[in-house]
Amino acid sequence: MLNLALPKGRLGDKVTSLLRDAGYDCPVIGSGDRRLTVDDEKNGVRYIWVKPSDVAIYVERGAADAGVVGKDVILEQSPDVYELCDLGIGRCRMAVAAPADFYDDVSRKLRVATKYPHIAREYYAGLGREIDIIKLSGSIETAPVIGMSDVIVDIVETGQTLKENNLHVIDTVVSISARLVANRASCKFQKDDIMRIANAVRAEDDHK
C-alpha cells in the first residue's frame, strides 16, 4: 500500500474530486464520516486524512509516502520533501490586507497578525520594514478589526472574508496552489506508484 496524506477541509474536497476523476477510488469524507484512513484496494493506496498544516510532517517523517499540501504550508515550513508537481487546485494568494483607513506609521513597528510568521518575516525583511508578529491559529481577519494588529498576512481565495470584515488587499506576497509532495526515501523505493499518481493529477499547465 502507498500511504497518501490528504488535507481535510476545503482543499480536501477538491483533492477528492481530482483523484476520483483520475481513476482513484478516493472516498468523499463528509459529514458523519469520522474515518481518518481508508484503503483503496484496487489502486493499492491508503488515504490518510490529516490537518492541512500537518500533511508535510507526515510525508517528511515517512508516515506517508506522498501527500497533497498547499504551497503556503511548504513556504512556511520548508519541509524536507520532494515537491513533485502543481495540481492546479486550491489556487489562491498570500496577501497583506488592512482596514481602508490604514496608513503605515514607519516610526514604530508594524503589527502583523498571521498564521504564517515565516512568510510574513521574509516578506517584510525584503521591504526592510520592522514588524511585530502576532501569531494566531485562525480567524486572522479579526485582529485589525478590533485593533490588535495593523495588518494581516493571510490566504485570500474568493476575497469574501476580507470584504465582510471591511479589509482590503494592500499587496500580494505570493501565488499559492496545491502541490503533490513525496518522502525522499519513498521516491526511490516506490517511485513507479508515486509517479503514476503524479502523472494522473498533475495540472495541465505544470511544467515541472
Residue nearer to ligand PRP on the CB measure, 174 or 185: 174
Residue nearer to ligand PRP on the CB measure, 14 or 202: 14
Residue 33 to residue 7: CA distance in whole angstroms: 15
Minimum distance from CB of 136 to ligand PRP (Å)? 9
Residue nearer to ligand PRP on the CB measure, 45 or 69: 69
Residue 27 to residue 47: CA distance in whole angstroms: 9
Q: Cell digits for 72?
A: 503556503
Give Cα separations from 1 to 41, 118, 143 (angstroms): 8, 35, 44
Minimum distance from CB of 79 to ligand PRP (Å)? 19
Minimum distance from CB of 208 to ligand PRP (Å)? 26
Q: Is the four-CA dihedral 10, 163, 111, 123 of positive or negative sign? A: positive
Q: Cell digits for 26?
A: 478516493
What's the distance, CA 117 to chain centroid?
A: 14
Minimum distance from CB of 34 to ligand PRP (Å)? 20
Please report where in the chains the cell 503514476 appears, as a residue: 196
Minimum distance from CB of 133 to ligand PRP (Å)? 16
Residue nearer to ligand PRP on the CB measure, 46 or 91: 91
The residue sitting closest to ligand PRP, measured at its beta carbon, is 138
Residue nearer to ligand PRP on the CB measure, 45 or 162: 162
Contact 77, 151 (CB under 8 A): no
Q: Which residues bind ligand PRP (CB under 6 A)?
A: 138-141, 154-161
> What string of DSSP letters covers 135-146?
E-SS-TTHHHHT
